[in-house]
Amino acid sequence: MKVKVAILGCSGRMGRNLIQAAIEHESIELVGGSVRSTSSFVDFDLGELAGIGAIGAKTSVELTELLEADVFIDFTSIETTLENIEWCKKHNKALVIGTTGFSDEQVKTIEAAGQHIPVILAPNTSVGVNLLFKLLEITSKAIGDHTDIEIFEAHHRFKKDAPSGTAVKMGQVIADTLGRDLNKCAVYGREGITGERDKETIGFATVRAGDIVGEHTAFFADIGERLEITHKASSRMTFALGAMRAAFWLSEADNGYYDMQDVLGLK
């Protein structure tokens, strides 16, 4: 039996990769996707939208036309995602969220939605990146208190939030492992005479250029040696394939708030 999936905001770059990944996944049936009423792709075949030929499922403006879906996948915008959460709660639909840039209060809203529906919030659905998070936890336990920690990330020129949700999650994993408050110890860029580095800080550096899909590195630097843990994505399909894996897992989950660590059994 296949899991029926609908993709919210399916006409963008990521949306088209999600369409392709859903079509290629043997355990998923793509039943539709949503677009804005002003989109030129209203009532458009999803397969043709992704450039791989007609499949019969089409885009919709009204989410009520997608009620047959078991799981919804949302890589839209903060405002749209928050609206979609309320809709999914109302109609008892599971939701995978790949949107990034949420404030702490907005994350609490998403957490609370887990009391009503199964929901995954994943700043990065790549399997490799989520293994990276686990490696960061292990490394932080071993040497985090003895090293200077810096996080570097690079993305394409079109990305709207900075630092990336993945970079923030990296910092959060490290800070939580070391018993630090990321809101207090994070340093987002440096300029001028800053004085010597505070040992407790976690630094972030951001690059936005060209068509970089996504690169993330955590530096653990001591005197005489440096450990670097890096993940590089060369295609958005890695995120799309991970999202399908999350959707399939979520279809059998109880109501609750989850992340990709749950999906991959890394907790």
The C-alpha angle 215, 267, 136, rounded to 5 degrees, equals 35
Identify the CA nearest to 247 among candidates 5, 1, 75, 18: 5
Q: Residue 33 burial (CB < 10 Å; 0-12/13-18/19+)?
A: buried
Active-site residue, selected from the candidate residues 2, 89, 116, 159: 159
Active-site residue, selected from the candidate residues 25, 93, 155, 216: 155
3-class DSSP assignment, residue 4: strand
Identify the CA nearest to 71 among candidates 117, 108, 114, 12: 117
CA distances from 170 to 19, 123, 152, 165, 178 (A): 28, 10, 10, 9, 13
Structure tokens at 101: 């840039």
3-class DSSP assignment, residue 197: coil
Annotation marks residue 231 as catalytic: no
Structure tokens at 118: 């199964």
Distance of CA 76 to the CA centre of its chain: 11
Annotation marks residue 159 as catalytic: yes
Other residues' Cβ atoms within 10 Å of the Cβ of residue 166: 25
Please give the positions annotated as active site. Answer: 155, 159
